[in-house]
Amino acid sequence: MSKEYIEMIREAASFISDKIERRVPFAGIILGSGLGDLAEKIDNKIIIPYSEIPHFALSTAMGHKGNLIAGELGGKFVVAMQGRFHYYEGYGMDKVTLPVRVMKLLGISYLFVSNAAGGVNKEYRVGDIMVIKDHINLMPNPLIGKNLDQFGPRFPDMTRPYDLAVINIAETIAQKMGIKLHKGVYLAGTGPTYETPAEYSFFRTIGADAVGMSTVPEVIVARHSSIPVFGVSVITNEAFAFADDFVNDGDDVIEAANSAAQKLTTLVTGVIESL
């Protein structure tokens, strides 16, 4: 499987490389639920629908558009995924993380990841932004199986999953732009169910600040091949005090993410500009 898998990665990379006239993107960006707006801010866009890219899955999740968008952001050439692939959609981890390895072959120097997440830290409010400083993985590890030695080692270090220098830059920029930033731990479960109150409470107890269904697989695969990662969660629901009539609802999550998208765009653009 892994020889074929590497062929798939190469074919996808070569297809994209042709489309972007062999330019080397400075950063890859993966945009989560309701956060695709950042892609609209990219200048001189080259839009490549996932359906055209060999071996890319299709984005079926709500609020995910399904385009790879290349162009300039913050004065640098970037490739952005407007929508990602989730494990809960039924894709294997190989499909979920293939784009990260494709971006590695394209030559990215940084990976930016974003997601919508439930806040289990009681200080967090809907619309807040949390820079991810660490994660807890409760999904299957995407590196299970034969190691792809050409990408990285069998037992990758995970002591610095999110790049400290980039986090510092983001904090400085946020302060300058008046954006309030939390810094916390993101916990990834498989979904697609939202958590029970007992599960949210358990996740808080074990050290999570925010909970979601994505991102960690891509981060693990990026760190396997030593790509520095910057991650941000947009808090779309307060997962600690439930009113009697409260229900978690996907549409509310998308709406909350959309309304915070501008802050995220400003922050990510600022960080890319100053790197």
Task: Establish if 79 lies at the interface with ligand HPA (CB under 6 A).
Answer: no
Query: Nearer Cβ to ligand HPA, position 166 or 213?
Result: 213
Task: Establish if 217 lies at the interface with ligand HPA (CB under 6 A).
Answer: no
Task: Establish if 184 lies at the interface with ligand HPA (CB under 6 A).
Answer: no
Task: Establish if 239 lies at the interface with ligand HPA (CB under 6 A).
Answer: yes
For residue 128 the two structure tokens come to 């807040």
Query: Nearer Cβ to ligand HPA, position 204 or 223?
Result: 204
Phi, psi of 162 (to 5 degrees): -120, 130
- C-alpha 111/C-alpha 106 separation (Å) is 12
Task: Establish if 93 lies at the interface with ligand HPA (CB under 6 A).
Answer: no
Least CB distance from residue 224 to ligand HPA, whole Å?
24
Least CB distance from residue 255 to ligand HPA, whole Å?
12
Strands (E) located in 19-128: 27-31, 43-49, 67-73, 76-82, 110-119
For the chain, counts of helices (H) and of strands (E): 7, 9
Containing 40, the helix (H) or strand (E) segment is helix 37-40
Query: Nearer Cβ to ligand HPA, position 87 or 110?
Result: 87
Q: How far is CA 20 from CA 70, 82, 271, in A?
A: 7, 16, 23
- C-alpha 32/C-alpha 271 separation (Å) is 18
Figure out which of the listed residues 94, 195, 218, 238 binds ligand HPA, where binding follows CB under 6 A: 195
Rounded CA Rg of the chain: 18
Sorted by sequence, the CB contacts under 8 Å of residue 202 that are 6+ apart come out as: none
Query: Nearer Cβ to ligand HPA, position 110 or 194?
Result: 194
Figure out which of the listed residues 25, 36, 83, 212 binds ligand HPA, where binding follows CB under 6 A: 212
Query: Nearer Cβ to ligand HPA, position 26 or 124?
Result: 124
Task: Establish if 117 lies at the interface with ligand HPA (CB under 6 A).
Answer: yes
Task: Establish if 222 lies at the interface with ligand HPA (CB under 6 A).
Answer: no
Least CB distance from residue 194 to ligand HPA, whole Å?
5
Least CB distance from residue 197 to ligand HPA, whole Å?
11
8 A C-beta contact, residue 69 and residue 41? no
For residue 86 the two structure tokens come to 């989730």
Task: Establish if 253 lies at the interface with ligand HPA (CB under 6 A).
Answer: yes
- Size, binding site for ligand HPA by CB under 6 A: 13
Name the one range near ligand HPA by CB under 6 A: 70-78, 82-90, 93-101, 211-219: 211-219
Query: Nearer Cβ to ligand HPA, position 121 or 237?
Result: 237
- C-alpha 3/C-alpha 9 separation (Å) is 10
Chain centroid, CA 1 distance in Å: 26
Quick count: other Cβ atoms within 10 Å of Cβ 65? 15
Figure out which of the listed residues 98, 116, 229, 267 binds ligand HPA, where binding follows CB under 6 A: 116
Q: Which of 107, 76, 267 minimizes the C-alpha distance to 177?
A: 267
Site residues, ligand HPA (CB under 6 A): 116-118, 194-195, 211-213, 236-237, 239, 248, 253
